[in-house]
Amino acid sequence: MSSSTDGDSSQAFDETGDPIAADDDAEPRTEPTGPREGPSGREIVVPFRLYKAVTVFSTLAAVVTYFVGFTLIDAATLQISFVRTTIVYLLDNAGLLPPEDVLVAILAITGVGFIILGTAVYVLGTRFRGQGMGKSQDDPSET
pLDDT digits (tens, 9 = 90+) for 3-33: 444 444 566 666 666 656 555 455 555 666 7
- Report yes or no: 123 and 41 within 8 Å, Cβ to Cβ: no
- Report yes or no: 8 and 21 within 8 Å, Cβ to Cβ: no
pLDDT digits (tens, 9 = 90+) for 60-117: 999 999 999 999 999 999 888 899 999 999 999 999 999 999 999 999 999 999 999 9
